Structures are given as C-alpha cells and as structure tokens.
Amino acid sequence: MRMSDIVTSYILSMLDEQDGNAEIKRNELASVLGCVPSQINYVITSRFTPEQGYIVESRRGGGGYIRITRINTTRENAVMHIVNSIGNSLDSASANIMISNMLSRSIIDENTAYLMATATSDSVYREVPYQYRDALRASIFKNMLLTIIKRQ
C-alpha cells in the first residue's frame, strides 16, 4: 500500500470515529505514520477537497492544526456537487478518487464503482487523440453521474 493511501485511510478512520470531523496536527500525524509532513499536505489537498465532499480549514503556527469536516448532504446533492465540480476535463486519477469517495460514502455500490472506473480508465481512450481524452472522459463521467440521479 502506498503512503498516500495509508494517510488517506488513517484520516478517513478519524473522520468515521469522530462523526465526520477530524483535527490533525500535521507534524504529529507524519510522525505517527512515519512519513514527511509534505505527504500529509499532498493527501489533504488531493483527496479531501470540496469536490470530494470535505471542508478543510487550517491554522498555522505553534498551535496550528488542520480541521477536516465531511459534508453531509443528500445523495442527489452530493452527485450534483461532483458533476458541477468536474469542469470540461477529467483525468483518470481524479475520476478514480471521486469514484472511491462515492463508494466510501455509499453514494454508489461496488458494481457501479467498478463500471465507472472501467469506463474512465486510460485504456478505454487509447484510440482517442490525446488532446481529447480528458474532455471525453469528463463528458462520459458526468453522464454516468446524471444517470445515477435519474435512477433513484
């Protein structure tokens, strides 16, 4: 397991244990997990974004902290928030993070997650000219999400 996955799992377990709120001291968490503080920053900025359903607040200084709050919304609102956050292009890694987040929040089930990951994987777009791949992936992903809402 990669260090970023370990950090993510640790923070997610903190959020689960503390009703969707976690307060982290970056240096302390890095020490506990045996990584450098910049890895904590990377995970927070890439995997705990508003698009993925989190609010992140930070306070610098000696008593500084990073507070992560899981946004609780309805399934439809969560999906629409994701659709609106995608924009005109989407890379495979970002799609996978969104899929994983939706799965962990029970917005989608495992079969749906598998199908979405397959449809957005880089291997599907090999025949598409490189400059169009992320735009096509974004369009397909948005349509899959809108279909999820329609089928509720």
For residue 70, the model assigns a pLDDT of 86
For residue 60, the model assigns a pLDDT of 77
For residue 63, the model assigns a pLDDT of 63
Q: Do 26 and 85 lie in a common domain? A: no
The total number of structural domains that make up the chain: 2
Q: Do 34 and 62 lie in a common domain? A: yes
Q: Which helix (H) or strand (E) holds 65?
A: strand 65-70
For residue 38, the model assigns a pLDDT of 87
Q: pTM for the full model?
A: 0.63
For residue 129, the model assigns a pLDDT of 95
Q: Do 60 and 117 lie in a common domain? A: no
Q: HSE (CB half, 13 Å, CA atoms) of 19?
A: 0
Contact 103, 52 (CB under 8 A): no
Owning domain of residue 124:
75-150
In sequence order, which residues have a C-beta less than 8 Å from that of residue 99 and are 6 or more positions away? Answer: 108, 113, 116, 117, 120
Q: Do 87 and 146 lie in a common domain? A: yes
pLDDT, one tens digit for every residue, the chain (152 residues)? 788 889 999 999 999 898 889 999 888 898 999 999 889 888 998 888 876 778 899 887 766 789 999 887 788 888 888 888 888 999 999 999 889 888 888 889 999 999 999 999 999 999 999 999 999 999 999 999 999 888 76
